Amino acid sequence: MKSALRKLWLNLSLLIFISFSATQLHADDAHYKNMLIGERAATMGGSYVAISDDSTGCYYNPAGIAYAVGDSLSGSGNMLHKLKTVYTEAIGTQDWIRESESLVPNYFGVLKKYKDYSFCFSYVVPEAFIEHQDLLFDNPLSTVKIYYQSLHSEDITYLMGPSVAMKFGENLSIGLTLYYQYRSFMRQFYNYLESTDGSYEVIYQSLKLREDGVMPKLGLQWSPWSLLTVGMAVDQAVLFNSAFQGDISFHNTDNSTGTTIPTTMMMRVNSAEKRKFPLHLAWGVSYFPTPSLLYTADLDYYQAAENGRADIMNYSGGTEYYLNPTNAIRFGLFTNYTNLPLPDSSTTAPYEYLDIYGASFGYTSYSSSSSLTVGAIYTSGSGKAWLYSGSTETRALTRESLTLVFSASSSL
Amino acid sequence: MAHFNKYLWLHIFIFSFGFAVSGQAQEFRLRAHHIFWKNQEAGTDREIDFGRGVAAKILGKYPLLRDERKVKYISQIGTGITAQLGRPELRYYFGILETDEINAFAVPGGYIFVTMGALKLMRNEAQLAGVLAHELAHVGQKHIVRKLKLQSTDSSLTSGIAQVLGSSTLASKIALERLNDLAFKMLMEEGLSKEDEEDADQKALEMLITLGYDPHSYLNYLQSLKPHLAQGGAEVLSKTHPTIEFRYRSLKEFISRHQLDNIQGKKNEKRFKKIMAKS
Amino acid sequence: MIVIPQKQLDSFLQGKKIILQFFAALFLLLSFFLSSVFATENTVYIKGLGAVLREQPSIQSKKTFKLSRGTKVLSIESKGIWQKVESGVSQGWLLRGQISKFPVKRKTLILAQKIQLLSASGRRVRLRTFSAVVGVKGLVDSKGKKISPYKTDYTALEWLEQLPSNEENSVIFLSFTE
Sheet containing C63-67, strands listed edge to edge, beginning at the edge strand earlier in sequence: C63-67, C51-54, C90-95, C82-87, C72-79, C43-46, C99-100
pLDDT-derived band at A24 (thresholds 50, 70, 90) equals very low
**What are the CA-CA distances from residue B165 to residues B57, B158, B168 (Å)?**
18, 11, 8
pLDDT of residue A185: 93
Chain C interface includes A234 (CB < 8 A): no
Mean pLDDT of the region C73-80: 81
pLDDT of residue C31: 56
Pick the closest to residue A87 from A96, A74, A76 (CA basis). A96
| Cβ-Cβ contacts under 8 Å for C27 (sequence gap 6 or more) | none
DSSP state of B266: B
Cα–Cα distance for residue pair A302/A277, rounded to 1 Å:
9
**pLDDT per position as a tens digit, B197-225:** 888 899 899 889 888 899 999 999 998 98
Cα–Cα distance for residue pair A214/B272, rounded to 1 Å:
77
**Could B156 and A412 be called an inter-chain contact, meaning their C-beta atoms sit closer than 8 Å?**
yes
Facing A333 at nearest CB: one of C2, C22, C38: C22
Exposure of C50 by Cβ count < 10 A (0-12 exposed, 13-18 middle, 19+ buried)?
middle
Closest chain A residue to B36 measured between Cα atoms? A325
pLDDT of residue B21: 44
pLDDT of residue B139: 78
Mean pLDDT of the region B36-62: 76
Cα–Cα distance for residue pair B241/B72, rounded to 1 Å:
27
Facing A310 at nearest CB: one of C7, C25, C38: C7
Which segment of A71-85, B162-176, C37-51, C147-161 scores lowest on mean pLDDT? B162-176
Consecutive H or E run containing C135: helix C130-137
pLDDT of residue B17: 52
pLDDT of residue B173: 63
Chain C interface includes B83 (CB < 8 A): yes
Question: Which range among B36-40, B226-230, C128-132 has the greatest average pLDDT?
Answer: B226-230
Instruction: Check pLDDT > 50 for residue C3.
Output: no
pLDDT of residue B24: 46
Indicate the pairing of strand A172-195 with strand A144-168: antiparallel
pLDDT of residue C54: 86
Cα–Cα distance for residue pair A129/A157, rounded to 1 Å:
9
pLDDT of residue C136: 42
pLDDT of residue B151: 47
Tell me which residues of chain B, numbers 156 to 185, contact chain A at a CB-CB cutoff of 8 Å: 156-159
pLDDT-derived band at B34 (thresholds 50, 70, 90) equals confident
Mean pLDDT taken over chain A:
86
Cα–Cα distance for residue pair A188/A207, rounded to 1 Å:
6
Mean pLDDT of the region A149-154: 89
DSSP string, B41-93: HT-HHHHHHHHHHHHHHHHHHSPBP--HHHHHHHHHHHHHHHHHHS-TT---E
pLDDT of residue C7: 52
Task: Give the distance, in angstroms, between the CA of residue A55 and the centroid of all CA atoms in the same chain.
Answer: 22
SS3 content of chain A, % helix, strand, coil (to 5): 10, 65, 25
pLDDT of residue A119: 95
Instruction: Check pLDDT > 60 for residue A287.
Output: yes
Mean pLDDT of the region A290-295: 88
pLDDT of residue C123: 41
pLDDT of residue A240: 95
ipTM given for this complex: 0.78
Pick the closest to residue A352 from A341, A363, A361 (CA basis). A341
pLDDT of residue A374: 94
pLDDT-derived band at B23 (thresholds 50, 70, 90) equals very low
Cα–Cα distance for residue pair C50/C98, rounded to 1 Å:
9
Facing C7 at nearest CB: one of A315, A333, A341: A341
Residues of chain A contacting C6 with CB distance shorter than 8 Å: 342
| B180 close to B50: Cβ distance less than 8 angstroms | yes
Tell me which residues of chain C, numbers 14 to 43, contact chain B at a CB-CB cutoff of 8 Å: none
Instruction: Check pLDDT > 80 for residue B238.
Output: no
Consecutive H or E run containing B214: none
Q: Nearest C-alpha of chain C: how many angstroms from B32?
A: 10
pLDDT of residue B77: 94
Mean pLDDT of the region C17-32: 59
**What are the CA-CA distances from residue A253 to residues A203, A259, B71 (Å)?**
12, 10, 110
Mean pLDDT taken over chain B:
77
Percent of chain B with pLDDT over 90: 26
Q: Is the dihedral of CA B72, B73, B74, B76 positive or negative?
A: positive
**What are the CA-CA distances from residue C64 to residues A52, A327, C52, C67 (Å)?**
49, 38, 7, 10
Pick the closest to residue A385 from A354, A345, A411, A356 (CA basis). A354
Mean pLDDT of the region A216-236: 93
| Cβ-Cβ contacts under 8 Å for A90 (sequence gap 6 or more) | A96, A385, A387, A395
Phi, psi torsion values for B122, nearest 5 degrees: -75, 150
pLDDT-derived band at A221 (thresholds 50, 70, 90) equals very high
pLDDT of residue C131: 44
Exposure of C59 by Cβ count < 10 A (0-12 exposed, 13-18 middle, 19+ buried)?
middle
Which segment of A2-11, A34-43, B257-266 scores lowest on mean pLDDT? A2-11
Q: How many Cβ atoms are within 10 Å of A153's Cβ, its own excluded?
A: 18
Mean pLDDT of the region C52-59: 83
Q: Is the dihedral of CA C119, C123, C127, C133 positive or negative?
A: positive
β-partners of residue A309 are none
Cα–Cα distance for residue pair A21/A42, rounded to 1 Å:
34
Task: Give the distance, in angstroms, between the CA of residue C146 and the centroid of all CA atoms in the same chain.
Answer: 39
Facing B25 at nearest CB: one of A170, A227, A281: A170
| Cβ-Cβ contacts under 8 Å for A323 (sequence gap 6 or more) | A329
Chain C interface includes B142 (CB < 8 A): no
Radius of gyration of chain C (CA): 30
Task: Name the more confident of B151 and A255.
Answer: A255
Instruction: Check pLDDT > 70 for residue A38.
Output: yes
**pLDDT per position as a tens digit, B123-164:** 999 999 999 999 988 877 677 767 666 544 333 333 445 455
| C57 close to C20: Cβ distance less than 8 angstroms | no
**Could B18 and A71 be called an inter-chain contact, meaning their C-beta atoms sit closer than 8 Å?**
no
Mean pLDDT of the region A81-94: 83
| B123 close to B269: Cβ distance less than 8 angstroms | yes
Facing A292 at nearest CB: one of B14, B19, B32: B32
pLDDT-derived band at A346 (thresholds 50, 70, 90) equals confident
Cα–Cα distance for residue pair B178/B172, rounded to 1 Å:
9
**pLDDT per position as a tens digit, C87-133:** 877 888 888 778 887 777 767 666 666 654 544 443 444 444 444 44
Consecutive H or E run containing A388: none
| Cβ-Cβ contacts under 8 Å for A115 (sequence gap 6 or more) | none
**pLDDT per position as a tens digit, A95-149:** 888 887 778 889 999 999 887 899 999 999 998 888 888 888 888 778 888 989 8
Percent of chain A with pLDDT over 90: 51
3-state secondary structure C29-93: HHHHHHHHHHHHHCEEEECCCCEEEECCCCCCCCEEEEECCCCEEEEEEEECCEEEEEECCEEEE
Select from C107, C137, C150, C162 the residue whose CB has the most chain B CBs within 10 Å, as the one to mutate to test that interface.
Answer: C150
Cα–Cα distance for residue pair C48/B82, rounded to 1 Å:
8
pLDDT of residue A347: 78
Question: Which range among B26-30, B93-97, C117-121, C162-166 has the greatest average pLDDT?
Answer: B93-97
**Could A170 and B23 be called an inter-chain contact, meaning their C-beta atoms sit closer than 8 Å?**
yes
Mean pLDDT of the region A397-406: 92
Pick the closest to residue A280 from A383, A159, A362 (CA basis). A159
Terminal CA-CA length for chain A: 71
Query: The CATH number of the domain where A103 resides is what?
Result: 2.40.160.60
Q: How many Cβ atoms are within 10 Å of B5's Cβ, its own excluded?
A: 8
Terminal CA-CA length for chain C: 74
Mean pLDDT of the region B96-112: 89
Indicate the pairing of strand B111-115 with strand B93-97: parallel
DSSP string, A233-290: EEE--EEEEEEEEEEEEEEEEE-TTSS-EEEEEEEEEEE-PPP---EEEEEEEEEEEE
Pick the closest to residue A105 from A37, A45, A27 (CA basis). A37
**Could A355 and C4 be called an inter-chain contact, meaning their C-beta atoms sit closer than 8 Å?**
no
Task: Name the more confident of B227 and A149.
Answer: A149
The structural domain count of chain A equals: 1
pLDDT-derived band at B1 (thresholds 50, 70, 90) equals very low
Exposure of B270 by Cβ count < 10 A (0-12 exposed, 13-18 middle, 19+ buried)?
exposed
Residues of chain A contacting B15 with CB distance shorter than 8 Å: 172, 220, 222, 232
Mean pLDDT of the region A176-195: 93
Mean pLDDT of the region A151-170: 91
β-partners of residue B251 are none
| A398 close to A356: Cβ distance less than 8 angstroms | no
| Cβ-Cβ contacts under 8 Å for A10 (sequence gap 6 or more) | none
Mean pLDDT of the region B83-109: 88
This prediction has a pTM of 0.61
Instruction: Check pLDDT > 70 for residue B18.
Output: no
Facing A291 at nearest CB: one of B22, B35, B155: B35
CA angle B42, B46, B50 (to 5 degrees): 110
Instruction: Check pLDDT > 50 for residue B48.
Output: yes
β-partners of residue C175 are none
pLDDT of residue C171: 87
State which residues form the domain around A109: 4-411
3-class DSSP assignment, residue A367: coil
pLDDT of residue C94: 86
**Could B93 and C81 be called an inter-chain contact, meaning their C-beta atoms sit closer than 8 Å?**
no
Pick the closest to residue A231 from A50, A391, A404 (CA basis). A50
Pick the closest to residue A63 from A168, A220, A184 (CA basis). A220
**Could A292 and B31 be called an inter-chain contact, meaning their C-beta atoms sit closer than 8 Å?**
yes
Percent of chain C with pLDDT over 90: 0
Q: How many Cβ atoms are within 10 Å of A119's Cβ, its own excluded?
A: 16
Task: Name the more confident of B193 and C41.
Answer: B193
Chain C interface includes B123 (CB < 8 A): no
